[in-house]
Amino acid sequence: QVQLVESGGGLVQAGGSLRLSCAASERTFSTRYMGWFRQAPGKEYEFVATIAWGGGSIYYADSVKGRFTISSVDAKNTVYLQMNSLKPEDTAVYYCASRGTGPYYRTTSWDYWGQGTQVTVSS
């Protein structure tokens, strides 16, 4: 069973930055691709960004393109999400997830999920 552990959430003012981390317990077929989703109160899960180990296959949601950067350190089995120019509408619980195959934009493609970390952006 793959375990994903997120860290780095918190409270920040609009325009500020945060960096989220996600450590995977192991790398298997089901963790070939790593990604971030978020869920705001009363809303559905929203895809944020995805990356393949080795740094390829990077995609972003239009809502975060140019402000967020996803990266990985393969030797540490860790993926990062650098979030800059944060806006109040970025407030959500952010989840790390992994998948082996399937479209990245579908939540059903993702096999393992972390417990989530709260990001709150004040105006």
Strand 117-122 versus strand 10-13 pairing type: parallel
40-61 pLDDT, tens digit each:
999 999 999 999 988 889 999 9
pLDDT band at 27 (very low <50, low <70, confident <90, very high): confident
C-alpha dihedral sign at 97, 117, 76, 46:
positive
- Within 13 A of 116's CA, how many CA atoms are on the CB side? 12
Alpha-carbon span 39 to 103, nearest angstrom: 19
Nearest-angstrom CA–CA distance, 47 and 117: 15
Asked if 21 contacts 86 with a C-beta cutoff of 8 angstroms, the reply is no
- Taking only the tens place, the pLDDT of each residue in 9-21 is 999 999 999 999 9
Q: What angle do CA 103, 104, 107 make, to 5 degrees?
A: 95
